């Protein structure tokens, strides 16, 4: 789905305070007399967040008359206005949704949940509404599949095989259970063919308000010596790399927050599925060393505090490990402590495993 354009005419100060740097995707209109100009501006509005009373008879016609083939959604902060707004819209929008601010709900939470509601309304129409071409890929008729190597393909192969499909797996790498030289495996370090699952794994780098990731928007435009994460000078970026960077930087705050919460949800669900998987097929895990926790190290107190708060919220914090206790248990970290490169650690619920 392309970037959505929002028009905000409800509780504008609250939205402005949260969406301070999203002007490329959000238009604000506190003076309702200027709504017509906003609606007829350069960019067509996909989602309108209104109070309800400012929606006059002329405005919906102007709004919906632009890009008539594109879906549009209306969010109303005051639910009492929905019946009259529905009459004006005449079933011409993808959806209308009430988004009242709940009691004790923070401004940030309400703004993010409001924009998420708009996105979900747009998703209901599916990707076809945003594309001019649709390609149908016919499914094979023979019950025979070829899967090339990879951890997820192995899980997929087992899924298919237990349902009557004939599966052939090809892997150019040696069997990790018998290979004597770990460097040939390509997916390991130090001789252990390890896999790991935590509730915060693969968390989003599009953070905007985190105490740890405060300035992430342009982090891939700078090399590490300048505080960035790019492995090569931005001047040597290819067209594809420039496009990727632009897409990353245009991720709005509310969407970054939504992606982070989605990642946490998927990880929690994955943990449940792994438990079910091991109970259902214990023979697949013979020779695998499993542990119930993961040691996470932090160089700075601010990062440790942020990680502790996140894991507490997810219910995955097993133990907070002060520096003195960490050194007693792992004396090999003494040099890092002396050079002030290690603050402390925590133990998080997870599923580290490796082949013995």
Residue 320: alpha-carbon gap to chain centroid: 27
Is 306 in a helix, a strand, or coil?
helix
- Separation of alpha carbons 107 and 100, rounded Å: 11
- Separation of alpha carbons 292 and 230, rounded Å: 34
- Separation of alpha carbons 84 and 98, rounded Å: 13
Other Cβ atoms closer than 10 A to 11: 19
Query: Domain 6-130: which topology?
Result: Rossmann fold (3.40.50)
What are the pLDDT digits (tens) for 278-288? 888 888 888 77
CA dist list (Å): 298 to 227, 244, 253, 306: 18, 29, 25, 10
Q: Residue 29: in which H helix or E strand, if any? A: none
pLDDT of residue 120: 83
Nearest to 18 by CA among 260, 205, 253: 253
> Average per-residue pLDDT in the chain?
81
Residue ranges of the chain assigned to CATH 3.40.50.2300: 6-130
Is 2 in a helix, a strand, or coil?
coil
Provide the 8-state DSSP code for 206: -
Question: In the structure encoding, which two tokens stand for residue 350, read together?
Answer: 């997870």
- Separation of alpha carbons 203 and 264, rounded Å: 8
86 or 202: which leads in pLDDT: 86
pTM score, whole prediction: 0.62
- Separation of alpha carbons 56 and 59, rounded Å: 6
Is 170 in a helix, a strand, or coil?
strand
What are the pLDDT digits (tens) for 135-161? 444 444 445 556 566 677 888 888 888
Residues sharing a CB contact under 8 Å with residue 311, sequence separation 6 or more, in sequence order: 199, 200, 317, 346, 348, 349
What are the pLDDT digits (tens) for 249-284? 877 767 777 788 888 898 889 888 888 888 888 888
What are the pLDDT digits (tens) for 197-238? 888 887 766 666 566 666 677 888 889 888 788 989 999 999
Sign of CA dihedral 223, 227, 229, 235: negative
Identify the residue whose tokens are 């010596």. 225
pLDDT of 76 higher than 90: yes
pLDDT of residue 329: 92
pLDDT of 132 higher than 50: no
Length of the chain: 356
Question: In the structure encoding, which two tokens stand for residue 189, read together?
Answer: 């370090």
């Amino acid at each position: 789905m392309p970037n959505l354009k929002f028009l905000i005419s409800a509780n504008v100060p609250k939205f402005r305070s949260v969406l301070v740097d999203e002007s490329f995707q959000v238009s604000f209109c506190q003076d309702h007399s200027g709504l017509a100009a906003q609606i007829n501006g350069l960019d067509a509005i996909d989602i309108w967040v209104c109070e309800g009373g400012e929606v006059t008879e002329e405005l919906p016609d102007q709004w919906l008359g632009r890009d008539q083939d594109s879906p549009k959604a209306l969010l109303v902060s005051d639910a009492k206005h929905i019946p009259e707004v529905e009459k004006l819209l005449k079933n011409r929008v993808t959806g209308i949704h009430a988004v009242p601010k709940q009691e004790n709900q923070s401004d940030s939470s309400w703004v993010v949940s409001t924009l998420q509601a708009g996105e979900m309304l747009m998703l209901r129409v599916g990707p076809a509404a945003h594309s001019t071409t649709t390609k149908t890929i016919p499914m094979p008729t023979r019950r025979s599949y070829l899967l090339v190597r990879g951890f997820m393909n192995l899980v997929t192969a087992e899924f298919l095989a237990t349902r009557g499909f004939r599966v052939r797996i090809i892997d150019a790498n040696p069997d990790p259970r018998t290979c004597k030289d770990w460097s040939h495996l390509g997916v390991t370090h130090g001789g252990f063919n390890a896999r790991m699952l935590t509730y915060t794994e693969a968390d989003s780098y599009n953070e905007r308000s985190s105490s740890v990731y405060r300035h992430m928007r342009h982090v891939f435009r700078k090399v590490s010596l300048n505080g960035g994460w790019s492995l090569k000078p931005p001047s040597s970026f290819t067209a594809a790399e420039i496009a990727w960077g632009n897409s990353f930087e245009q991720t709005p705050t509310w969407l970054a927050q939504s992606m982070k919460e989605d990642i946490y949800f998927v990880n929690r669900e994955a943990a449940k599925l792994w438990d079910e998987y091991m109970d259902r097929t214990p023979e697949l895990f013979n020779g695998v060393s499993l542990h119930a926790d993961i040691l996470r190290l932090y160089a700075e107190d601010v990062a440790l505090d942020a990680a502790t708060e996140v894991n507490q919220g997810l219910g995955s914090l097993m133990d907070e490990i002060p520096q003195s206790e960490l050194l007693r248990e792992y004396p090999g970290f003494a040099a890092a402590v002396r050079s002030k490169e290690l603050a402390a650690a925590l133990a998080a619920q997870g599923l580290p495993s490796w082949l013995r």
